[in-house]
Amino acid sequence: MSWIIAAPLLLPLAAGALALLAPRLGLMPRWISLGASVLHLMFSVILAEQVLREGVVATHMGGWLAPVGIVLVADIFSILMLVAVSGVGLAVSLYALADIDRRKESVGWFALYQILMAGATGAFLTGDLFNLYVWFEVMLIASFGLIVIGGRRAQIDAGVKYVALNVVATLSFLTAIGLIHGVAGTLTLAELPERLVGADPTTVTAVSLLLFGALAAKAALFPVFFWLPAVYHTPATSVTAIFAAIMTKAGIYAIIRVFTLVFPDGAAWEVLYPIAIATMVAGVIGAAAQTEVHRILSFHIVSQIGYIALGLAIATPLALMGAIVYLIHNIVVKANLILIAGIARRRMGTDALGATSGLYATAPILSALFVIAAMAMAGIPPFSGFWGKLALTQASLSAADWAAIAAILGVGLFTLFSMTKIWIKGWLPRTDEGTPRQLPVQASRALMAPVVALTVVTLGIGLAPETLLQIADRASAQLLDPSAYQAAVLGDQLSYQTAILGHPL
């Protein structure tokens, strides 16, 4: 049993529990959270290093081998997600030191934050469909708390909508799992493809579409994305940033995982393509109508999930590689942009466009960081968003898919328009009203450090993309040919059954 794969999962769970007890032990939850985030990133990198060196790592929890027991699996796609999310997780827990006040801390903000990280880690590492549902629930319940802590009227209102829509999606997910178990008799992802071979195709189609619908709502794909822009602008900036990096990304991760492995062809693939393009377009058009920075950025999360879904829908190795590169880039840049917008809102007291102008004159460094992140998000070379888009465009070109190319470039242009709108109305001096507040030095350091760190990562991906492109290429190959994944999970299955039962099942 390899503990190295369980460590990134157990650590935030333990830290969450400790952070809940911390006030009684005389400890500060914020420092527990920061320490846990440092270790989480470290463990994730160690695991990533092992997976890149040795191939897929799998561990059977409790010594029960798959398909009987629950298996944790780390392939290259999982560890890319894990490292990106734990890196952003560390940045946000540093930011939260200044962003989250004592009152929010005392009602368990940092405990919920760590549990959210545990849920995401579990979702990336599990090799079992029901276990995936459980980790989504862990994330969901932690996110409920994070949205409403603070108790502003808008937060409560957003909480009601978030709970209602997400619970419906979750229950569809659970129903689909029950039906899949009924059809296949197993829930181990690696074993499902062969068990579904002889199944009634009508049932498989129905079940796969139900599952796709549920995960699409989690990933905020068109037309089930409305919960996201209604909610993401209401809680503290730290919450919006970590949600942007984790929640929808875990949804699209699950779609990529399940539909490349379990349902490699079928009806869901046919609807995915138009849905992806509709998501891209709906997101930017929604953003164009907004006049507050946090709201604009929330709509762009939707649009960018569309890019990733489009890469999956085209489904060539190059397109999938592009989707993965774009996904990793987006986790970093989106969180960074939201953190920057949070500093701007903190300094101006509002984030309504037009009321925040003049930041460029008083905060030149922050302005430069904003421009880098905004250009990266719009996909302007040489910043990080460019490479994912380039791979996606090349993949659509070789498939002579003009609609996809038009969508990629057109939506990119609209994104640039949104970023320019924020820059001109939000940062350049236009009116005299509103003078930026100077933040206390210590708070300003805790807020700026993570932004600088994430910007360095963005620049790193943009200027030296070879490493990420190569790793994403391997990840894409592994997804399209899951034999290594299946062998790692089920490799010793026959010998196990023979040992216990005296014969294979």
Partner 1 sequence: MEWKFALLAGVLTSVGIYMLLGRHMLSLVFGLSLLGSAANLVVFAGGRVRDGAAPLIPIGFSAPPEAIANPLPQALVLTAIVIGFGIAAFALALSVAAYHRLGTADPETMTDAEGQTP
Residue closer to partner 1 by CB (options 79, 489) is 489
Residue closer to partner 1 by CB (options 43, 225) is 225
Residue closer to partner 1 by CB (options 237, 336) is 237
Burial class for 409, CB neighbours closer than 10 Å (0-12, 13-18, 19+): middle
Residue closer to partner 1 by CB (options 145, 426) is 145
Alpha carbon distance 9, 17 (integer Å): 13
Task: Give min distance, CB of 263 to partner 1, in A.
Answer: 17
- Site residues, partner 1 (CB under 8 A): 130, 134, 137, 140-141, 144-145, 148, 151, 153-161, 163-164, 167-168, 171-172, 174-175, 177-182, 230-231, 233-234, 290-292, 295, 350, 352, 500-502
Residue closer to partner 1 by CB (options 178, 382) is 178
List Cβ neighbours of 10 (8 Å cut-off, separation of 6 or more).
none
Residue closer to partner 1 by CB (options 249, 294) is 294
Residue closer to partner 1 by CB (options 240, 455) is 240
For residue 67, whether the previous peptide bond is cis, meaning omega lies within 30 degrees of 0, is yes
How does DSSP classify residue 59? E
Secondary structure of 268-316 in the HEC alphabet? HHHHHHHHHHHHHHHHHHHHHCCCEHHHHHHHHHHHHHHHHHHHHHHCC
Alpha carbon distance 491, 191 (integer Å): 11
Task: Give min distance, CB of 334 to partner 1, in A.
Answer: 20
Alpha carbon distance 471, 174 (integer Å): 33
Q: Which residue has the tokens 């199944």?
A: 199
Alpha carbon distance 359, 435 (integer Å): 8
Q: Which of 410, 344, 341, 348 is nearest to 373 (CA)?
A: 341
Task: Give min distance, CB of 291 to partner 1, in A.
Answer: 6
